[in-house]
Amino acid sequence: MYDLGREQRLDKYDLAHATVREILTEMKDISEIMVDLAYASIMFDSEEIAEEVKNLEEDMEELSKNIRIKTMLSARTHKDATKLSSLLEVASASRRISNAAGDIVKLMECEVDKRPFLTFILREAEEKIKRLVLTDVSDMVGRQIGDLGVESETGMRIIAIKRG
């Protein structure tokens, strides 16, 4: 299992008490990380990363259901419903992005020799994905992704950490 750097992630209890805005933010964040992980699973031929994308797809299903319910319960007037419908459009877009990430990992079902073009395409992409193995003496060992400040210091973003 991977640490996806979302220590503040909504759990089932939080989800019941979360605002529409919090759920929408969570959906946006998850769909974004899913795309990165889906590409990484293909580049590194990693079933383990692909499985994490599938797990996140299930989380998105739950978030999608919850945001629809909360939005419907929030609308008291036609004007409210009109305003809230735009939030549902954004949630729907996040859901479509997560579904696309799920479709990307389905390419893992093809034999490696049947998908050589994928590595070439991804190599030409603007954003690069790299895999780094830390030594036991690294000052990053045992710390949370958010505490490292990697993105603000280097411009690079850690999308997952495999611990253990």
The fraction of the chain above a pLDDT of 90, given in percent, is: 43
Please tell me the predicted confidence (pLDDT) of residue 9: 59
Please tell me the predicted confidence (pLDDT) of residue 142: 82
Please tell me the predicted confidence (pLDDT) of residue 22: 92
Please tell me the predicted confidence (pLDDT) of residue 70: 92
Domain residues of the chain, as ranges?
Answer: 2-162
CATH of domain 2-162: 1.20.58.220
Positions of the chain with pLDDT lower than 70, given as ranges: 1-13, 115-119, 122, 164
Where are the extended beta strands (E) located within the chain? 2-3, 161-162
The answer to whether 10 and 133 have CB atoms below 8 angstroms apart is: no
The answer to whether 51 and 18 have CB atoms below 8 angstroms apart is: no
3-state percent helix, strand, coil for the chain, nearest multiple of 5: 65, 0, 30
Residue type, 59: D
pLDDT in tens, 24-58: 999 999 999 999 999 888 888 889 999 999 999 99
Angle at Cα 42 formed by Cα 131 and Cα 159, nearest 5°?
A: 45
